[in-house]
Amino acid sequence: MTSTFTPSDLPVVTLKTERKSSHPWIFQKMVEKPETKPKNGCVVDIIDRTGAWVGRGLYNGHSRIALRVLTTNPDEGINRKFFDKMLRQAISLRRDVLKIDKVSDSYRLVHSEGDGLSGLVIDKFGEMVVVEFFSSGMYRFRETILSLLGEILPGSRFYWFAEEHVQKQESMDIRPPALPEPFLIEEHGLKFKVGPGSKHKTGFFVDQRENRMLLAQMCKDLSVGPDGGKREVSVLDICCNSGGFAVYAKALGGASEVLALDLDETVLELAEENARINKAKVKFIQVDLFHWLREAIERGLKYDVVILDPSKQTRTKEELEKAMRKYTDMNRLAMQVVKPGGILLTCSCTGLASESEFLNSIRIAAWQSQRTAQILKITGAGPDHPWASHVAEGRYLKAVWARIL
């Protein structure tokens, strides 16, 4: 909805075209070069080519995303009152509507555009609140954000950061506080050690919480034979990271054998500790997945359940085609170590890859491996990671559950 522009004290940025989208991102190429360049990260009024006021948001003349629209209400300022409203609204969703506190003390509090706060992600790990900045504008409001979080979540400790590539893109220099010592969180009765500030997201992959529980239930169901007797279930967790799926499969799913692979030696140490904490017997191997899978195929090794959850494969559209080929290669190899009739859970957290593109890579992998992938369901991140209907990029995680014949 547009309105006639009324002058304010804010800098004004003009678009090259008429505004015909509600997407909060406006790219640099769509913006007229301002006569007087606003400060990086400041709040600006946005008008389109027709002179109509279209929104208010954060400006960054150095970033590919020049504008992040935060409100289309001309009477609403981007200030403490605004952030108080948006933060309370986001936290209420998790606590009062989704009631995630019943199953875990750790979850996403703010999911960027999904909660109307483009460029801001906040995760809760017990008493530790981790704030990740994706825009210089949000970082300029850090004191306001941290102060409000302290009021809404009394007793919390805080850590904040931005990944190096984000700091480079946004032309900002963030000096985070000292790294907190790793500590325990709880999820569905299991305990996991997390380390905020590590290179693995904000400390733990809370987005897979529901998928981990579904995987455990699937293992439990598979362990019951046709006659009602006990049946052994073998599980292979590829790219296991800190061991979430592997620990769930053993501790809650009752799998008889769980093998977990990852190339990162540091994260495997954390995974081994998580297995010990939960008294889950899991064998961990530090290895490149391509090398291990090719050797496993030659040896004829096969598993009842295989999980493939690799890290993000690309951050740029230019490398998307290459990334999709890599997904195909990984899935082709993974399918060949699934027992006939077994289950493959294959995931993609590459936001640039659409669900249809990911499914196509699975289709090609099945054809190349001469297997049939019978798709059972497609899930994604937990409900504490909502995505706005007009911002498809927020639906980054695709989890495809397939029976491999």
Which domains, ranges and CATH numbers included, belong to the chain? 3-71 (2.30.130.10), 80-181 (3.30.750.80), 205-404 (3.40.50.150)
Helix 355-368 vs helix 320-335: angle between axes, to the nearest 10 degrees?
50
Residue 249 has phi, psi (to 5 degrees) of -60, -40
pLDDT in tens, 208-235: 999 999 999 999 999 988 888 889 999 9
* Angstrom distance (rounded) from CA 384 to CA 271: 24
Q: Is the Cβ–Cβ distance between 343 and 220 less than 8 Å?
A: no
- CB atoms under 10 Å from CB of 51, counted, come to 10
Cα 5 to Cα 42, 75, 194, 372, distances in angstroms? 19, 12, 48, 58
pLDDT in tens, 50-109: 999 999 999 999 999 999 999 999 999 999 999 999 999 999 999 999 999 999 999 999
Q: What are the start-end ranges of the H helices in 107-207?
A: 136-140, 142-152, 164-170
Query: How crowded is the C-beta side of 147, counted as CA atoms within 13 Å?
Result: 9
pLDDT of residue 1: 46
- Amino acid (one-letter) located at 119: G
pLDDT in tens, 154-198: 999 999 999 988 999 999 999 889 888 889 999 999 999 988 876
CA 97 from centroid of its chain's CA atoms = 21
Q: Is the Cβ–Cβ distance between 258 and 249 less than 8 Å?
A: yes
Q: Looking at the predicted structure, is the pLDDT value of residue 400 above 90?
A: yes
The predicted model scores a pTM of 0.92
pLDDT in tens, 260-309: 999 999 889 999 999 999 999 999 999 999 999 999 999 999 999 999 99
